[in-house]
Every structure is written in structure tokens, then in C-alpha cells.
Chain A
Amino acid sequence: MADLSIAAACKRFGETEVLRDVSIEVADGEFAVIVGPSGCGKSTLLRAVAGLEHLTSGRIRIGARDVTALPPSQRGIAMVFQSYALYPHLTAYENMAFGLRIAKAGRAEIDAAVRRAAAILSIESLLDRKPAALSGGQRQRVAIGRAIVRQPQLFLFDEPLSNLDADLRGRMRHEFAALHRTLGTTTLYVTHDQIEAMTLADRIVVLRDGRIEQAGAPRDLYARPDTLFVAQFLGTPQMTALPATMAEDGRARLAGGHAVALPPLAAPPPPGAAVTLGIRPEDVAIGATANALPFTIAFAERLGGLATLHLEGPGGVLTCQIRDDGSLNEGDAVPVTLPPARLHLFDAAGKRLRSVDE
């Protein structure tokens, strides 16, 4: 067991800066998820921790050891790749045993380690098969087994679920969570899927263009995103962003002149300043009130129990999620209220404007 510390990591490929001054602390036993759109540098960061890429500058420490200059095999890590990267000519057993064989471990020790990992992943019956005879999910398990057998101080996962179909992805998510509870090993997990990040992580690190956009507990990032990017990256359906301008009375004015009451801000922008109002689909209140805004249902996605409504009205398109009783239909006019306590405010640069009680 060990903690992980990445300090001021920078990586350049020629002229392209892939990582810019990235610092992350992952506590012992923590499940940290690095999430971001493709090309944000998250895989490069993971490969740097694994030792498969060298940082241009910065240090990486695992436990008490500075591993920045160490080869992958001496870092005490195990990695699961997106493509599984199993050895095709070896059985599942030999795939998992490979590392220990290289380390010249004894036959009994290897057997015990492989069987223990196989038992944890319930793949005992597959050990004699070669990868070609395994399904995607089974291959994934063998790849995880190979990582477990190494008894690493740190698990690295590089988009491990993105090659699986949606159903299997859901089940494997549960298994990852369960596995982490069982083993308690510090884990760094890279994904572009915000659902994986939200469900698995103790801590989420949102990466964008090689920089950390925000890091913290999933709940905190969801409730108080530092930037509009984080706000819109986490959560499905996406948070709605409505452009507005600050009015003299401290409210915000949407296009079309409708005023929206805001929560008390710690540092309100001056009148006339451009802001963005953010509201999560589940926070939109439908029903006639004094301050209701006139919206029309442009498109309804009915999911059975829930419906996602795309509403057109002042300021643009608003996404709203409701319990579907069938009473609302496309074309209907609906009065919409944006509860001030539920509003997220961002300045022109996309930075969060904090309310007084934050």
C-alpha cells in the first residue's frame, strides 16, 4: 500500500504541450479517477506514472520512493490496458503468471498467487483457455488478474471498460468498486466516461488540455463545479448554460429581457457584465409562479419512468428532467422557474461566481 504524489508534471512531444504543471495527490487506498475529453492528456499522465513515458519535468513519488527515473517494473505498479494487451499465445493462467515467472518465483508461489487472483475474479474455470477463446469481459478479467498477481502498491487502469458493450460495462463497474473494497489498493483510473468517474471515484480529477480543471470528491464537483467546463462535463443530461447579463437590480437578464433572481453572490459582477446561468436538468421547476419564464417543449425524450424535455424559450434551449406521467407533450407551453439556490453562475471566462454561503 502506498500513496501517490505527482508534482508539477510537464510533458512535451516536440512543440505540443500534453501535460502542463499537473500536480495530484492520491492518498493511500484511495480510488482516484482522471477524467476528461479525448486528447486532454489523461492517458499520457497515466503512462508517465507507469514509467512508459518520461516526463519533460516534474516528479512522481509512490509511497516513500521517488520513481521518476525508475523503469516500469520497479515502480510497484500494475496496469490494465484498454486493449487488455494479453499475450495471445499463452493461456489465461500463463498470462497471469508471466510477471512472476520473469521474476523467477517458485512454482508453488506462482500457483498460489494465480489461483488467489482467479478466485477473486471468479475465472477459475477459464485458466486453461487462450485469449482468443475468451469473451471481451473474460479477457478484461484476465487482464485485471494479471495486475492483481503482481500485488502492486498502485493499480493503473487505462480506460479499461471502453471496449465492452454497455450492459457489461455497467456490471464491470460494480466489480471494480467491489474489487477496490476487497483489495484496498491505491488506484488511478483513467476514463473519458463521466459516469464511471462519478460512480467509482473517491476523488475525481478533471483534466482539460493538459491542465487540471478541478479535483475533488464526485459530489463536490457535481454540486460546486469551479468552471463551466466541469459543470457541463459531469452529469447526464448535461447542465444547461443560458447566456445572460447582470442587471442593475442584482438579477440576471436573459435574452428577451426576462429577469432571473440569483443567489446572493460573494462578489457580484458589475451591471452589464456577461454571465452564464447554469442549471442541472433535475433542478428545473415546472409550474406557474410569479417569476416563471415562458418555455415551450421542443422535443421530449421519454425513457419510461423519466422524461428529458428540451425546452425552447428566453435565452436558448433548456434541458429538464421530470418524472413522466404523460401529461406533457411536444409543443406544450410550460412555465419554468429556475430556483435561485439551484443556479450555478459563471463569469465570461467560465469561472464559477461563488455565492455568499460557499
Chain B
Amino acid sequence: MMRRWTVTLLAAFVALVTIAPLLWMVSVSFMAPGEAARFPPPLLPENATLENYRQLFGTYGALRFLANSLLVSTLATTLALLFTVPAGYAFAKLRFRGRDATFRLLVAALVVPAQIGMLPLFLELKAMGLVNSYAGALVPWLAGIFGIFLVRQYCLSIPDEMLEAARIDGAGEGAILRRIVLPVLTPIIVTLALFVFLSSWNDFMWPLIILADQRLYTLPVALAALSREHVQDNELMMAGAVVTTLPVLILFLALQRFYLNGLLAGSVKG
């Protein structure tokens, strides 16, 4: 009993430490300019105001950046699933020449940090005329090796006999993927979708490199540009941070059930 209480208290403490900055971020976003810089910093706004949000959306046009981010992340997620899920399945379950060698090569490439690939990728895209376009911004997400790897590992646990039963039932490879494999893969697909959406939503470096036109900026890039102008303006920046964080937080909470399922899927057989 004592031990359970200790664990609960410890967990509560860790949760508090984790969530405190987030809560303060929300709180500060409602404060008047300069209020958060006082000492000691106030926990709650004296006179809560929506001025920061008005400024963010009105003066700085954050709505456009929010829409840009949504567009890029949604496309990145959709396209990533479209390519990585069939690829992972094929690497796990279809027999073709060079399968294992190709897969080993891909896994080996995982150890190369993404930053190293950025310059060559940029030059490549420049030659293709994709710089300063969303097509260019989406390229790194199309066929993430990690995603392929994740799907493949999960697919390995699908019994061959199930696919053979479907083959005997007359299903072609496409129908097997659509009607048997995809439903079974639901947890891992949700997990992967969340993962890609979060990463592309939060991605800063690549959009910064590839997008030159300010109207194409995603939220993180736009916020960074904003913060250069408003270094002192904590309250406005926090409002921007709230706008950036909230959508993914909501998405995560909505899909949490599937996500946890996916993470546990490999550990318990049955």
C-alpha cells in the first residue's frame, strides 16, 4: 500500500513538472505586454486579455501559417502512409529478388543523421525546380525508413497462413493488402500517422531551408521569424506557441487509445 502511494506521488510530481511550463505558456498568452517579465513572474494574468491572439491573427496573419502547417502536415502524413505501409508490408511478406539486401541497406541508412542529407537533398531539389514549393517541403517525408521499418516489423507478426487463406479465397495481392492487412495494421498505422504528423508539424529546419517565400511559411518558421522581431514580447510569443502546440495536443489525445495499442502490440502475443 505504502509503495503504491509513493509511486502515485512520484508520478504526480513528474506529471506536474512536465505540464507546468505548458500551463504557464497558456497563462502568459493571456497576459498584458510586459507582465510576464516582472519579478517574481506571476502565475496568472492580472487582467486576462485576448490582445496577443488578436495581434497574432490580425497583424501578423497567423491564420495563414496555421493553414500552411495543417496542409503540409496532412499531406506529409497521407503521402508517408501511402508509400511506407505498402513498402513495409512488401518487405515483410512478399517474396522478391533482392528483398533482404535492399532492406538491410535501408536500415543501414537509418544511422545517417537527417541533417547530413539536407544539403545534397537541397541541391537535388533545386535541380528539379522544387525549391520554395510544398512539393519540396514534403519530399523528406514521403518514404521514411523508420516508417517502413516499423510497418515491416509489425507485418512480420501476421501469420502467412492468413494471407494464404485469403489467396485461396480468391483475393489478389491488392485485395489482401486492402481487406486483410490494412485492418490488422490499424494500430501501427495510427501510430505512424501520429508520428509523421507530429514530426512534420514541429519540423523547423527543413521548411526553413526549402521555403523562401514568406507566404509559404509553416507555423514554426513563421514564429521564428516573428521572434526575431519581437524578442522582448514574451506574451505574444506564448500565444504563438499555444497556437502551435494545441492542434497536435488535441490530435494526440484523440488518437491516444490507438497509439498505445500500437506501441503494446508487439509485446503481448495473442
Chain A positions within 8 Å of B, measured between CB atoms, are 50-52, 71-73, 77-79, 81-83, 85-90, 98-99, 102-103, 146, 150
Please provide the 8 A-B residue pairs with the shortest distance between their CB atoms, ordered closest to farther: A73-B170, A99-B169, A85-B161, A89-B183, A85-B165, A81-B161, A72-B168, A102-B170
Give chain A nearest CB distance to B180 CB in angstroms: 6
> CB distance A88 to B175 under 8 Å?
no
Interface residues of B in 162-187 (CB under 8 A from A): 162, 164-171, 175, 179-180, 183-184, 186
The binding surface of chain B is classed by DSSP as helix
> CB distance B166 to A79 under 8 Å?
no
B159 lies within 8 A of chain A by Cβ: yes
B169 contacts which chain A residues (CB < 8 A)?
73, 98-99, 102, 146, 150
A71 contacts which chain B residues (CB < 8 A)?
167
B159 contacts which chain A residues (CB < 8 A)?
83, 85
Interface string of B6-29 (1 = CB under 8 A from A): 000000000000000000000000
> CB distance A85 to B175 under 8 Å?
no
> CB distance A85 to B164 under 8 Å?
yes
B175 contacts which chain A residues (CB < 8 A)?
102
> CB distance A77 to B168 under 8 Å?
yes
Q: What separation, in Å, do the CA atoms of A94 and B164 have in the docked complex?
A: 17
> CB distance B168 to A103 under 8 Å?
no
How many pairs of A and B residues are in contact by the CB < 8 Å rule? 58
Q: What separation, in Å, do the CA atoms of A146 and B165 have in the docked complex?
A: 10
A73 contacts which chain B residues (CB < 8 A)?
167-171
Give chain A nearest CB distance to B154 CB in angstroms: 14
Chain B positions within 8 Å of A, measured between CB atoms, are 159, 161-162, 164-171, 175, 179-180, 183-184, 186
Give chain B nearest CB distance to A351 CB in angstroms: 38
B186 contacts which chain A residues (CB < 8 A)?
89
A-B contact pairs, 25 of them (CB 8 A): A50-B164, A72-B164, A72-B167, A72-B168, A73-B167, A73-B170, A73-B171, A77-B168, A78-B168, A79-B164, A81-B161, A83-B161, A85-B165, A86-B162, A87-B162, A87-B165, A88-B162, A89-B183, A89-B186, A98-B166, A99-B168, A102-B169, A102-B175, A103-B170, A146-B169
Give chain B nearest CB distance to A143 CB in angstroms: 8
Q: What separation, in Å, do the CA atoms of A89 and B186 have in the docked complex?
A: 10
Q: Which residue of A lies closest to B185 (CB)?
A: A89
> CB distance A89 to B164 under 8 Å?
no
Give chain A nearest CB distance to B173 CB in angstroms: 11
B164 contacts which chain A residues (CB < 8 A)?
50, 52, 72, 79, 81, 85
Q: What separation, in Å, do the CA atoms of A73 and B167 have in the docked complex?
A: 6
Q: What separation, in Å, do the CA atoms of A66 and B168 have in the docked complex?
A: 17
Q: Which residue of A lies closest to B175 (CB)?
A: A102
> CB distance B161 to A99 under 8 Å?
no
> CB distance B165 to A79 under 8 Å?
yes
B184 contacts which chain A residues (CB < 8 A)?
88-89
Q: What separation, in Å, do the CA atoms of A78 and B183 have in the docked complex?
A: 24
Give chain A nearest CB distance to B144 CB in angstroms: 26
Q: Which residue of A lies closest to B176 (CB)?
A: A102
B166 contacts which chain A residues (CB < 8 A)?
87, 98
> CB distance A79 to B183 under 8 Å?
no
